[in-house]
Amino acid sequence: MASPTPAIIPRSEHGISRKQFSPNAIKVLYRLKDGGYDAYLVGGCIRDIMLGIEPKDFDVVTNATPEQIKKLFRNCRLIGRRFRLAHIVFGREIIEVATMRGHHQSDDSCATTSQASEHGQLLRDNVYGSIEEDAERRDFTINALYYSINDFTLRDFAGGVADIKARKIELIGDPETRYREDPVRMLRAIRFATKLDMEIATPTRTPIKALAPLLGHIPAARLFEETLKLFLNGKAEENFLQMREYGLFAQLFPALDKILAQPDNDFERRFIQQMFANTDSRINADKKVTPAFIYAALLWFPILAKSEALAAEGMNEYDAFMQAINHVLAENAKHVAVPKRFTLGARDIWHIQQRLDKRSGQRAYRLSLQPRFKAAYDFLLLRVESGEQEQEELAAWWTDYLKNDVTGQKDMVRNLGNQSKPKRRYNRRKPKRKPKED
């Protein structure tokens, strides 16, 4: 394959200044240069600057091997199995340095550095090459832009500058082959499109639906990291809708997707979409968001469905609910491996839902002191906001309780009296709909 000839854009034309880069990234570039190696800033930081977005991460590519990089930097640690990377640590900032990747050979000469699965997915990718080969190995054209510290030029190997101007997400090379090499690129295409307000080019989006099942071959831990990027970038609602459109969400959360696909489950769809909309609002307002809440919402309806099935077999309500939680978490971990620190938080949110109507004596006060109570209360509000009218009175009571001082809270608890116990909340009956206005 002939190597691509880059368009070399001088400093006077690309408008990128070194002042827009992290000082630590500049230090890394110059130390590699002084060590006798070629080094470039590449990818997202260049793309974002050209779009007028302040870059958060600065990635460097070089012809030095990971071991050679490590010899140059005392603050370096090597990571990765699929592809070895060097992380240069400056306090809280990390500059990622990658060795330029090369093409895979058809013989066994690179068997120790390269390995692909029967589906075409790259399992090991430590094949090094030239900058031209590295550019061909990049995923999207907008990420194949290289900034040289030597002459301050920008090297465009795949028409990335034109695609940035056209606001187009386009894969480099044959889309089906590139998706088979790394199916996560399908998720990345959606994330870049929503994050950068771009459109996925027709050749790039066409194969996604048919190749979506390839995500089943990706380690569940890696898919958790990818879902975090999709859900915590301020575009979660758009990402969710596009993932469902392209059949990708079903590969990540199959039990929930099956429920959402049922025509009469409007409430469930509203609940999930509203959760993502609320998440986006909080992130865009610089408010805290916990992944535990997001995954608690995503697994809520599969838990209710499993709980109902177990109760129908004769198990009591509490045990059915607890067993359903364990079952759904275990099944979900096969697709997206949510770390225990977040599943524990989700468990607390689910457990508190069962206890919110038990308010007599000191129960309301003690419950309000639980570390996850605020998240559980927000979860209740989300249920009501999405249309679960049966919980409106309970949500209003807790809202007033939290606004009151200690004396007012005690009065509210005393005034509960002998009110009848609310109906069971953990069945699959549809919440009441508000009557349509004429």
107-127 average pLDDT score:
49
Q: What is the pLDDT of residue 300?
A: 98
340-355 and 373-385 helices, crossing angle to 10°: 70
Q: Each residue of 274-297: b (16+ CB within 10 Å) or e?
A: bbbbbbbeebeeeeebbbbbbbbb
Residues 62-87 pLDDT 10s: 999 999 999 999 999 999 876 789 99
Residue 4 has pLDDT above 80, yes or no: no
- The H or E element containing residue 385 is helix 373-385
Q: Bridge-partner residues for 222, per DSSP?
A: none
DSSP code of 214?
Answer: G
Residue 237 has pLDDT above 90, yes or no: yes
Residues 250-275 pLDDT 10s: 999 999 999 999 999 999 999 999 99
Q: Bridge-partner residues for 435, per DSSP?
A: none
Q: What is the pLDDT of residue 81?
A: 74
Using pLDDT thresholds of 50, 70 and 90, give the confidence band for residue 114.
very low
Pick from 430, 427, 426, 438: nearest CA to 270? 430
Cβ pair 297, 270 in contact under 8 A: no
- The H or E element containing residue 227 is helix 220-231
Q: What is the pLDDT of residue 434?
A: 55
Domains parsed from the chain with CATH numbers: 7-174 (3.30.460.10), 273-414 (1.10.3090.10)
Cβ pair 59, 44 in contact under 8 A: yes
90-116 average pLDDT score:
70
218-225 average pLDDT score:
96
129-152 average pLDDT score:
93
The fraction of the chain above a pLDDT of 70, given in percent, is 89
Strand pairing class (59-62; 93-99): parallel
Using pLDDT thresholds of 50, 70 and 90, give the confidence band for residue 105.
low
Q: What is the pLDDT of residue 63?
A: 95
Length of the chain: 438
Distance CA 289, CA 295 (A): 12
The full DSSP string for 282-325 is HHHTT----HHHHHHHHHHHHHHHHHHHHHHTT--HHHHHHHHH
CB-neighbour burial class of residue 304 (10 A; exposed 0-12, middle 13-18, buried 19+): buried
Residue 424 has pLDDT above 90, yes or no: no
Q: What is the pLDDT of residue 112?
A: 43
> Hey, what amino acid is at 367?
L
Residues 356-397 pLDDT 10s: 999 999 999 999 999 999 999 999 999 999 999 999 999 999
Q: What is the pLDDT of residue 80?
A: 84
Strand pairing class (168-169; 199-200): parallel
- From edge to edge, which strands make up the β-sheet containing 154-156? 7-9, 154-156, 145-148, 39-42, 59-62, 93-99, 85-90, 76-79
- pTM for the structure as a whole: 0.85
The full DSSP string for 76-122 is EEEE-SSS-EEEEEETTEEEEEEEPB-PPPSSSTTTTTEEE-TTS-E
DSSP code of 233?
Answer: S
Residues 142-186 pLDDT 10s: 999 999 999 999 999 999 999 999 999 999 999 999 999 999 999
Distance CA 262, CA 269 (A): 10
Cβ pair 306, 327 in contact under 8 A: yes
Residues 273-316 pLDDT 10s: 999 999 999 999 999 999 999 999 999 999 999 999 999 999 99
Distance CA 375, CA 372 (A): 5
Distance CA 294, CA 356 (A): 20
List residues with catalytic annotation.
57, 59, 139
Mean pLDDT of the chain: 90
Cβ pair 227, 339 in contact under 8 A: no
Q: What angle do CA 182, 183, 188 make, to 5 degrees?
A: 95
Cβ pair 61, 42 in contact under 8 A: yes
14-29 average pLDDT score:
93
